Structure 1
Amino acid sequence: MNRSRLCIALVAILAFVLTACGGGGSSPSGPTEIAVWHGYQDTEGEVFKSLVAQYNKDHPDVKVSELYSSNDLVLQKVLTAVRGGSAPDVAYMFGSWSPNIAQIPQVVNMADEVKNPDWKWDDFYPAEREAATVGDKIVGVPALVDNLAIVYNEKLFADAGVAPPTKDWTWDDFRAAAAKLTDPTKGQYGWLIPADGSEDTVWHYLPMLWEAGGDILNSDNTKAAFNSPEGVKALTVLQQMAVNDKSVYLDTTNENGPKLMNSGKVAMLITGPWDLSQLSDISYGVQVMPTFAGSSGGHQTIAGPDNWVVFDNGDAKKKAAVDFVKWLSAPEQVKTFSLGTGDLPIRTSVGQDQSVLTKLNENVPGTATFVENLSNVQKVRPTVEQYPDVSEALGQAIVSVMLGKEQPADALNSAATAADTALAEK
């Protein structure tokens, strides 16, 4: 399943949506009713419904109703609902939206709440907590996390006489393997990368940037920093593979990864756990990201944490909404949801439970590696409102280089100029 959370929505509509008030509490004669908006479907939807039913059974003073809302569209829907005084009590929202969410007055700041020891806030992975934090506000509670790793076709490696990826692989090793796994006569490529210029394209570059020792923005998030020598070093690898080696399939539609891997046309993807269930026609392995030889950056990856956001619709509703989110994100429910859906656990205590890892791997082989790979998440994307503009400029630069239209330094400098212009706008 392709995670639409990788896509960054433009949110200019927020500028004129900050004044409406939410609804009041429920009737004193019955349970407090709260509405939860989410984008879960299929197996995720069924498991979530069962958890809601369990909560309602165990908490007769509260009635939770759940409503499906497309994850891609939920920010716009929430802003419209806030304007009309009908905001949900809880909504599943992308972590990349946190700076924009923080501006909505009806959003409950969870900072004081999660300080309470029974929340065990430190049990959430650091990247999740960082993605939910904007200044002194905590705008949500982790709902989902994922990351990127190498997924490879074991048969194609064996046929080409190439040793499988190891935890010690460098980008030189990755590049050499991709070249050996490329066979133009068969239309076979060593690697596929999303090349539509979207946030998915940027996601594949950012771990390389961090591993090389670079960063997206400067320390106070006022200027682009990706056009550094480290940024050029990372992008040069993509240029060498795409332009010189021609070992990379540039997926300009961002839709072909699992299909081409299943058909034996692609030997490696750098992707997340959502794609594993689609690789039903091949035997595959999973390994952590390569790193740069001699770099102290390590085998970094990137996470895409999403959040449960609580809205203040009156004291009774707010209290019930906070309690539901607290219950939903507690270790026992996290374990139930992860084992039921195959999604990665959002708590370290659950992710370190060997019985959970074993069961996840039995259900979908390779999932445990993605769980363990969460320890390689050291940085998150900057929580600034202008990030969509930064991402767009950087994504176009990456694609331009991979298509052979620009040199890495020139492309990154042009993107940095566009990013700086956006960052300067208040």
Structure 2
Amino acid sequence: MTHTRLWTAAVAVLAFILAACGGGGSSSESSGPTKIVVWHGYQDTEGDAFKALIAQYNKEHTDVEVSELYSSNDQVLQKVLTAVRGNSAPDVAYMFGSWSPNIAKIPQVVDMAKEVSDPDWKWDDFYQSERTAATVGDKIVGVPALVDNLAIVYNKKLFADAGIEPPTPTWTWDDFRSAAAKLTDASKGQYGWLIPADGSEDTVWHYLPMLWEAGGSILNSDNTKAAFNSEAGIKALTVLQQMAVNDKSLYLDTTNENGPKLMNSGKIGMLVTGPWDLASLSDIEYGVQIMPTFAGSSGAHQTISGPDNWVVFDNGDKKKQAAIDFVKWLTAPEQVKSFSLATGDLPTRLSVGQDKSVLDQLNQKLPGSATFVENLSNVKTVRPTVEQYPDISEALGQAIMSVMLGEAQPADALGKAAQATDDALAGK
């Protein structure tokens, strides 16, 4: 399972698409069960588990017939916008949380703010980061469908061979850097840490927790200017520079595809990755630990989360209500628990994530899963929900890469990225 946070050309043409949109979907309703369609990107184990939940719902709710349609997660925004333009939007769609500002502009998207204020939804039981990522201004554009985060996954044998104690919850970035250097052996093609290095949001994702841990922010308080070109931002990026350029302990994965493969082959000591990679690490004994932080920093231990959402569309009152009811059932604690246990995905609700029996079963299925669940408490900051975030990410990704490649200094690279960010936010 891979959950990337990439953007398609759909974002760029959003305004054009919306300008061409008419009203909501067809409101014609025939007799018999109310039929709704759910678009999703689940495959393999996730796909089977989701199909089972739909079958269960249809069996228990004979007045509704839910059907599902597979749509690649990376492509769904483009497809939704095209469908909205053609007056044929799905009733429910799985959509990346990073798209929330763009989703909020689609007239047919149902604002769930009133719905989730009903105590029956137990809205506060969803993790704070999930609720924040689903909120744009006074709108709530979706209900949490998936949550993840980043932590250290390390090769226990390589640590033992190098005589290094395993990572601890009190590790600092100095500890991390020192371990990575000791784990590196150029003659063997072995490196302490591998980082996605294609300049994409995956690259940015690995930098942002470091920025926050150093006490920095992506934007200022009213989201009008860049704030990452700060002392904290430079401090965080300097660690990547030291490891990549000075220590040469950082393997730059320019394809963004080699992490699990190189980890399995014993060439990488540590990945900072999410729970989706655990199932791929079948050839080594690995451990999982929360990310390090900066000694004496006010930022403490942090991580990043990429919550995704179930988005409901208004295709007439009857279908809209059926879609809302289905999403409410699908995201209730009982279904969250069964889906997590079937797939290994992290539970989207606090009550499920704090259930020891769930943690034990997840760990039995995939060792280290419980650490990722517990790590959700370290998600203290989310990316800004602004339409220009793809531009911000691109500028930051280029800055990070230029430093790791030894082509620029942190302050200069972040300054250039900040100017591009300010221009994007100002509409230039």
Q: TM-score, normalised by structure 1?
A: 0.99
Please say if residues 26 and 317 of structure 1, whose CA atoms lie closer than 8 Å, have aligned partners that are also in contact.
no
Q: Which residue of 1 aligns with 2:328?
A: 326
Please say if residues 337 and 358 of structure 2, whose CA atoms lie closer than 8 Å, have aligned partners that are also in contact.
yes
Give the Å deviation of 1:25. 4.0
CA distance in 2, matches of 1:3, 1:152: 20
CA distance in 2, matches of 1:228, 1:217: 11
Q: Deviation per CA, 1:89-140: give whole Å up to 9, x if none.
A: 0000000000000000000000011000000000000000000000000000
SS for the counterpart of 1:12 is: coil
Matched, 1:219 2:221: yes
Give the Å deviation of 1:17. 1.8
Q: Which residue of 2 aligns with 1:339?
A: 341
Q: Which residue of 2 aligns with 1:121?
A: 123
The 5 Å alignment of 1:132-171 reads 132-171=134-173
SS for the counterpart of 1:146 is: coil
2:352 pairs, out of 350, 353, 357, with 350
SS for the counterpart of 1:191 is: strand
Q: Aligned partner of 1:379: which letter?
A: T
Give the Å deviation of 1:302. 0.2
2:279 pairs, out of 271, 274, 277, with 277
SS for the counterpart of 2:13 is: helix
CA distance in 1, matches of 2:190, 2:7: 31
CA distance in 2, matches of 1:248, 1:413: 24
SS for the counterpart of 1:17 is: helix
Please say if residues 148 and 306 of structure 2, whose CA atoms lie closer than 8 Å, have aligned partners that are also in contact.
yes
SS for the counterpart of 2:113 is: coil
Between the two proteins, the alignment pairs up a number of residues equal to: 425
Q: Which residue of 1 aligns with 2:6?
A: 7
Q: Aligned partner of 1:364: which letter?
A: L
Structure 1: gaps (5+ residues): none
Q: Which residue of 1 aligns with 2:37?
A: 35
Q: Aligned partner of 1:250: which letter?
A: L
Please say if residues 159 and 183 of structure 2, whose CA atoms lie closer than 8 Å, have aligned partners that are also in contact.
yes
Q: Which residue of 1 aligns with 2:244?
A: 242
CA distance in 2, matches of 1:26, 1:335: 36
Give the Å deviation of 1:16. 1.3
Matched, 1:61 2:60: no
Q: Deviation per CA, 1:333-390: give whole Å up to 9, x if none.
A: 0000000000000000000000000000000000000000000000100000000000
CA distance in 2, matches of 1:23, 1:257: 43
CA distance in 2, matches of 1:108, 1:68: 21
Please say if residues 162 and 177 of structure 1, whose CA atoms lie closer than 8 Å, have aligned partners that are also in contact.
yes
The 5 Å alignment of 1:85-104 reads 85-104=87-106
Q: Aligned partner of 1:7: which letter?
A: L
SS for the counterpart of 2:93 is: strand
Give the Å deviation of 1:3. 1.6
Please say if residues 24 and 317 of structure 1, whose CA atoms lie closer than 8 Å, have aligned partners that are also in contact.
no
Give the Å deviation of 1:12. 1.0
Q: Aligned partner of 2:16: which letter?
A: F
CA distance in 1, matches of 2:48, 2:208: 34
SS for the counterpart of 1:193 is: strand
Q: Which residue of 2 aligns with 1:177?
A: 179
CA distance in 2, matches of 1:305, 1:148: 12
Q: Aligned partner of 2:393: which letter?
A: S
Please say if residues 25 and 84 of structure 2, whose CA atoms lie closer than 8 Å, have aligned partners that are also in contact.
no
Q: Aligned partner of 2:395: which letter?
A: A
Give the Å deviation of 1:13. 1.2
CA distance in 2, matches of 1:130, 1:32: 32
Q: Deviation per CA, 1:284-310: give whole Å up to 9, x if none.
A: 000000000000111100001000000
Please say if residues 190 and 248 of structure 1, whose CA atoms lie closer than 8 Å, have aligned partners that are also in contact.
yes
Q: Which residue of 1 aligns with 2:297?
A: 295
CA distance in 2, matches of 1:366, 1:242: 27
CA distance in 2, matches of 1:21, 1:55: 30
Q: Which residue of 2 aligns with 1:361?
A: 363
